[in-house]
A and B are shown apart, each in its own frame.
Chain A
Amino acid sequence: MSQQVRIMRGREWARPVRPVRREVLEAIPGLDEGRPPLLFVPGFGHGAWAFAEHWLGHAAERGFSGYALSLRGQAGSGPAPEATLRAYAHDVVQVAAGLSRRAVLVGHGAGALVVAHALARYPARAAVMVAPVFGGWATAFTALRRNPLGTLPALVGGRLQCNRAQLFGRELPRDEVRRHLSRLGRPARRAQWQLLLGREPEPAVGDPPVLVLGSPEDRVVPHSVLIRAARRYGSAPLLFPGMSHDLMLDARWREPIDGILDWLEKEPSGG
């Protein structure tokens, strides 16, 4: 991460991101106990639905309002073939700033990179990086090794396509896997390139606590990458061995979300 605060944003002032319809799914607890809202940001190909499946409802049961956003061009959000990471981060900050209290940003997969960029533009209460894909060549090589057919086209300008073995564990029932796979979309081409070659996120504003979690058996994010990701936030990752990349859809989805909520309740600035 570059360390200096950036004040001048001439290009952004001159060429603001155009608004696109945003899909936001939510689950609100019956009683407001003053806890910070959670904003879930899916990775490339996924949509808000991935969190609506289990995590949103579970967070609400534990007293946290949960919101899940579909990035532009994904799931129920408006089309955006030319979307960039900047536009994705813009969408996250727009939704976060629209909530009644400072939000906790939770990014999954490449959504964690979007969150890292958003953190430079919004003083989140806290941030959680779930199986973070911060991009770069190491991630690309892993993807290439595990899923050459889905990854190769992306390296020559086509669209990235994840496969079943990368995302889901073996315990997940077949029909559930089929349902999820049918909902997977394809990321915008420019954003995909930025995943490989994009600039480093700027330092986070407001100094939020950051939790990194994932599984050592993740087939998208190798263990070493996970450790490195946690190190940039000065900590070690919280590990859920034996789980797949899509922790929120895994048969054992409850463990990581409980891990996140427990951490938030313990954080002095959190619950």
Chain B
Amino acid sequence: MTTSTDHGRPDPELSTLDLARGARSVSYRGETVCVIGAGPTGLTAIKNLTEHGFGVDCYERETGVGGVWNWRHDRSPVYASTHLISSRPLTQFPDFPMPDDWPDYPHHSQLLTYLERYADHFDLRRHVWFGTEVVRVEPAEGDRWDVTTRSTGGYGPERTSRYAAVVVANGHNWSPKLPTHEGLAEFRGEVMHASAYQDPAQLRGRRVLVVGAGNTGCDIATEAAQQAAHCWHSTRRGYWYAPKYLLGRPADQLNDLMLALRVPRRLRQWLFHRLLQASVGDLTRFGLPRPDHRMLETHPIVNSQLVYYLGHGRVTPVPEVVRFHPDSVELADGRQVDPELVVFATGYLPRFEFLDPKILGDDGTTGRPVLWLNAFVPNHPTLAVAGLVQPDSGIFPLSHWQSVLFARLLRLRETRPNKAAAFAATVTTRAGERYSGPVKESSRHWFEVGHADYLRALQRALHDLEAK
């Protein structure tokens, strides 16, 4: 399967001598760096590595760039109505802005246009092997990496190439996190994970139960409010539902205004609570539980419409699901509801199926890598994971600076090895650091970062690295 909607192919002739790994032959790619994935994070990695003079081979299992934002991709979780939740200035790459006449919260199709233009502008596609997935990444001598690929879907032979460094940019919103519930297998209604939800037509005229109140769950619940015969929305805690606009500007820009004015977190939380209290009021009057945390202690929900539909009676809030019966779903308060369709908007889990989890410092039980700056791997100075962050802003700027830092680190390995060694020592001692205030313990929060805290830490790392 090498059909490709994207033109361009990297030059395969760079490999010189062949090596061997067991029975396999390995083609040697010299100082070339391998990037896994051509989503926003992979694209910015290619751009920044080539800008720093490195050769790059990128492998992308799909046939186009854009990752999540390319809705044609079979693993893309975006649905027809997806608009950004982070506003434009906080989402765009720092050195390639989106058009300033675009809306504050562009549509997913605009994001794809933006990423395609980024790829064309910097001529990135010639580095990408489309329709090729990485199946194994193994350490080789001299801090190099053997990367094994094959055509997506398992056709054709495997190929192994040896790289000087690897950037893992495989995204973390594609492997559904599905809850297990007693009786789920016998339930007669339809059950799906939100990753399979694409279009409100799937909800039209049906009784729908949406589980989970991340941004996906809230978006789907508001669509169900307009399309479905009935919508129950099940949450296991109370949340703060932030509107897209506050005090006349996008809510995240208000947050950043306060950050720029150095308003402490506690005071920001208090101000947000007061603002929400004054504008939408106490949500328990709609039957929602009271939040069990302060604002900014769970990944922000940005949705102006959910509260509106609660007020219209088009969404019925219900507590956690406890078990399924063949014809109904039992809730924590003992109530039973009878949906025809259950949508689990319960999120995603990061997965690195091509890497031994121990390499990333995960002992194999938690599924949580232990890295510095969520990116740098103890004892593996030529490996970086990019985009493994869930910020209270857009992801692109964080991915951009991660790859700039990695590119400069790789350069310094040649020009000032003692600096690179000092960086490696820091990675080992500081792996596991967090870059946010306290957050609720949940499988989705271990890589939650405050973008200001995170970028400040990254800026310090960059300055230390380049200091005389």
Residues of A within 8 A of B (CB): 4-19, 90, 93-94, 97-102, 121-123, 205-207
Complex Cα distance, B113 from A97, in Å, reads: 13
A8 near B459: Cβ-Cβ < 8 Å: yes
Residues of chain B with a CB closer than 8 A to A122's CB: 95-96
B257 near A7: Cβ-Cβ < 8 Å: no
Complex Cα distance, B93 from A171, in Å, reads: 48
CB distance from B156 to the nearest CB of A (A): 33
Q: Tell me whether B413 is interfacial, beta carbon within 8 Å.
A: no
B459 near A97: Cβ-Cβ < 8 Å: no
Q: Tell me whether B100 is interfacial, beta carbon within 8 Å.
A: yes
B455 near A8: Cβ-Cβ < 8 Å: yes
CB distance from B452 to the nearest CB of A (A): 7
With contacts A8-B459, A100-B121 taken as known, whether A121 is within 8 angstroms of B257 at the C-beta atoms is: no
Complex Cα distance, B95 from A195, in Å, reads: 24
Closest to A123 in B: B95
Complex Cα distance, B119 from A102, in Å, reads: 11
Indicate which residue in A13, A93, A121 contacts B256 across the interface (CB closer than 8 Å).
A13
Residues of chain A with a CB closer than 8 A to B121's CB: 97, 99-102
Residues of chain B with a CB closer than 8 A to A100's CB: 120-121
CB distance from B110 to the nearest CB of A (A): 14
Complex Cα distance, B393 from A205, in Å, reads: 23
Q: Tell me whether B275 is interfacial, beta carbon within 8 Å.
A: no
CB distance from A231 to the nearest CB of B (A): 22
A121 near B123: Cβ-Cβ < 8 Å: no
Complex Cα distance, B249 from A99, in Å, reads: 29
Closest to A122 in B: B95
Residues of B within 8 A of A (CB): 51, 88-90, 94-97, 99-101, 117, 120-123, 249, 253-254, 256-257, 259-260, 393, 401, 404, 452, 455-456, 458-459, 462-463, 466
A94 near B99: Cβ-Cβ < 8 Å: yes
With contacts A102-B122, A206-B51 taken as known, whether A15 is within 8 angstroms of B95 at the C-beta atoms is: no
Complex Cα distance, B335 from A216, in Å, reads: 87
Give 30 A-B contacts (CB < 8 Å), ordered by A residue: A5-B404, A5-B459, A5-B462, A7-B94, A7-B459, A9-B94, A11-B260, A13-B90, A13-B256, A14-B253, A14-B254, A14-B257, A14-B260, A15-B253, A16-B100, A19-B100, A93-B97, A94-B100, A97-B97, A97-B117, A97-B121, A98-B99, A100-B121, A101-B120, A121-B97, A122-B95, A123-B51, A123-B95, A206-B51, A207-B51
Indicate which residue in B101, B458, B459 contacts A19 across the interface (CB closer than 8 Å).
B101
With contacts A7-B455, A121-B94 taken as known, whether A17 is within 8 angstroms of B100 at the C-beta atoms is: yes
Q: A13-B260, A100-B121 are in contact. List 11 more A-B contacts (CB 8 A).
A: A5-B463, A7-B459, A10-B452, A13-B90, A14-B257, A16-B100, A93-B97, A94-B100, A97-B121, A99-B121, A102-B123
Residues of chain A with a CB closer than 8 A to B99's CB: 94, 98
CB distance from A123 to the nearest CB of B (A): 6
Residues of chain B with a CB closer than 8 A to A9's CB: 94
Complex Cα distance, B279 from A149, in Å, reads: 56
B97 near A8: Cβ-Cβ < 8 Å: no
Residues of chain B with a CB closer than 8 A to A4's CB: 463, 466
Closest to B96 in A: A97
* Nearest 6 CB-CB pairings of A with B: A10-B260, A14-B257, A14-B256, A19-B100, A7-B459, A16-B89
Closest to A7 in B: B459
CB distance from B210 to the nearest CB of A (A): 32
Which among A14, A16, A17, A101 has the highest number of chain B CB atoms within 10 Å? A14
Complex Cα distance, B254 from A101, in Å, reads: 34
Complex Cα distance, B101 from A90, in Å, reads: 13
A8 near B456: Cβ-Cβ < 8 Å: yes
Complex Cα distance, B256 from A35, in Å, reads: 40
Closest to A4 in B: B463
Closest to B451 in A: A13
Residues of chain B with a CB closer than 8 A to A121's CB: 94-95, 97
Complex Cα distance, B458 from A218, in Å, reads: 45
Complex Cα distance, B455 from A97, in Å, reads: 24
